[in-house]
Amino acid sequence: LPELPEVETTRRGIAPHVVGKRIARVVVRDRRLRFGISPALERELAGLRVAAIERRGKYLLLRVDEGAVVIHLGMSGSLRIVTTATPPRPHDHVDFVFDDGSLLRFHDPRRFGSVLHTRGDPHLLVQLSSLGPEPFDPAFDSSWLEARAARRPGPIKSMLMDNAVVVGVGNIYANEALFEAGIHPLRAASRVSRARYERLATSVRAVLARAIDAGGTTLRDYVNGAGEPGYFALQLAVYGRAGEACRRCGATVRLAARLQRATFYCPHCQR
Ligand SMILES: [Zn+2]
């Protein structure tokens, strides 16, 4: 599942190959993504120049002369730079063909991804306007977290994974950030002190930054690579390590059954 670090790595990997180029044509082989691809997409994008590529949460925004192309990778999507000489494989649903013969190819076996063009401000789309701050945005801090926590019941881990609170903290990164901050994942969000929220905001940024750095080594895979763009593994402290020794204190890492998503913690390091 592409998480924020993978999406950010994708952005960095493809940016040098798409920014400044003009879209000669768009080829859609299958419109049946999570939201059907508009039959007008090919006509709307032909001739437009890509001015920039941004990321918001797990959305990629290709800024074009008129609005933006908003791409979500869903459960299994990926983007690669190839040329018109590269034959499409199964599940290569969309090609953005540039006027120099290179192209950006969208691949998505499970088809939970989406591709849409908006002529207006993409941040006003309903999918984006409800999103909370980016984890690297200074607005994501202890006072923001404390204010969100005051109004909600339930454990801190659920709050951390809520896109309205902060975007891009998936299950693995929530587990790891809570371990790093020393906070028990099942602790009530309203019973976490401001000082501990400060630590948590720092830990979220640190865990995501390490994952993005790890992804940096896979950047070349986005260009003409035979391999798949990588979903990379971090050195994980607690996630997936139930029954193993905590890397910090040696206590046995536990798996909590109470939350929907797998929740791992060290009963000694996390309170
Ligand atoms: Zn421990």
Mean pLDDT of 120-143: 96
Given the residues 2, 135, 155, 229, the one annotated as active site:
2
Separation of CA 207 and ligand 1 centre (Å): 17
Given the residues 3, 6, 44, 180, the one annotated as active site:
3
Separation of CA 237 and ligand 1 centre (Å): 9
* 58 among known catalytic residues: yes
pLDDT in tens, 56-100: 999 999 999 999 999 999 988 999 999 999 999 999 999 999 999
Separation of CA 247 and ligand 1 centre (Å): 7
Question: What pLDDT does 233 receive?
Answer: 58
Separation of CA 47 and ligand 1 centre (Å): 57
pTM of the model: 0.90
Separation of CA 99 and ligand 1 centre (Å): 55
Given the residues 110, 191, 261, 271, the one annotated as active site:
261
Separation of CA 171 and ligand 1 centre (Å): 19
* 2 among known catalytic residues: yes
* 135 among known catalytic residues: no
Given the residues 56, 58, 148, 196, the one annotated as active site:
58
pLDDT in tens, 162-191: 999 999 999 989 999 999 999 999 999 999
Separation of CA 246 and ligand 1 centre (Å): 5
DSSP string covering the chain, please? ---HHHHHHHHHHHHHHHTT-BEEEEEES---SSSPPPTTHHHHHTTPBEEEEEEETTEEEEEESSSEEEEE-TTT-EEEEEETTSPPPTTEEEEEEETTSEEEEEE-TT---EEEEESS-GGGSHHHHT----TTSTTSSHHHHHHHHHT--SBHHHHHT-TTTSSS--HHHHHHHHHHHT--TTSBGGGS-HHHHHHHHHHHHHHHHHHHHHHHTTGGGGBS-SSPPP-PPP--SSTT-TTSBPTTT-PBPEEE-SSSS-EEE-TTT--
* 16 among known catalytic residues: no
User: 257 falls in which pLDDT band (50, 70, 90)?
Assistant: confident
